Amino acid sequence: MLRRSLFWALGLLVLLAAGGLVVGCSISAPKYRGSVSDHFNGETFVNAGGVKAQEGMGPLLKWMLNRDKGEWPEQSNLPPGPKPPTRVGRGEVRVTFVNHGTFLLQFDSLNVLTDPIWSERTSPYQWIGPKRLRPPGLRFDDLPPSMPSSSATTTTTTSM
């Protein structure tokens, strides 16, 4: 009896979640309406040159399984770059590429770290996810103090 009740409760929960997803997607934003241009026909956007976009997951999965990944050598022995200054002065800008999507932006006495990642893998878990092929361009301990960070994706920022 308990098993049957749990089954129905779970089924109802799945239906409610699916219904909420459908309703949320349909009312989430108004459809764009604008003037006709070379790549907007008044209702939908089109690619330049008449190139048709492939829709759905099928073409993506086919590409992922059949693509030629090419050679991407691991470069684990590269030395880190020089330690950046603690701050740069007013009107000065310094951009340091760290690795992946991580940059150290220094301007007007402010330090900002974008999309920080120092872990071995781009994942919250160290046993799954894309593995780092080269070390970060800066050592974690060489980062300037008190930095706000901006992360567009979920990343792990642990010292190695």
* Rounded-to-5 percentages of helix, strand, coil across the chain: 25, 15, 60
Alpha-carbon 65 to chain mean position:
21
Q: Quote the longest CA-to-CA distance of the chain.
A: 72
Q: Give me the pLDDT at residue 158, please.
A: 44
Contact, 123 vs 132, CB < 8 A?
Answer: no
Q: Give me the pLDDT at residue 154, please.
A: 44
Question: Encoding tokens for residue 144?
Answer: 């300037």
Q: Give me the pLDDT at residue 94, please.
A: 93
Rounded-to-integer distance, Cα 22 and Cα 24, Å = 5
Block means of pLDDT (10 residues each) for the chain, length 160 residues? 79 82 72 81 79 78 85 85 91 90 89 87 84 88 75 46
Q: Give me the pLDDT at residue 155, please.
A: 43
Which class for 102: exposed (0-12), middle (13-18), buried (19 or more C-beta within 10 A)? buried
Contact, 31 vs 45, CB < 8 A?
Answer: no
Contact, 120 vs 99, CB < 8 A?
Answer: no
- In Å, what is the CA distance from 65 to each residue of 51, 68, 123, 133? 23, 9, 21, 21
Q: Give me the pLDDT at residue 83, please.
A: 93
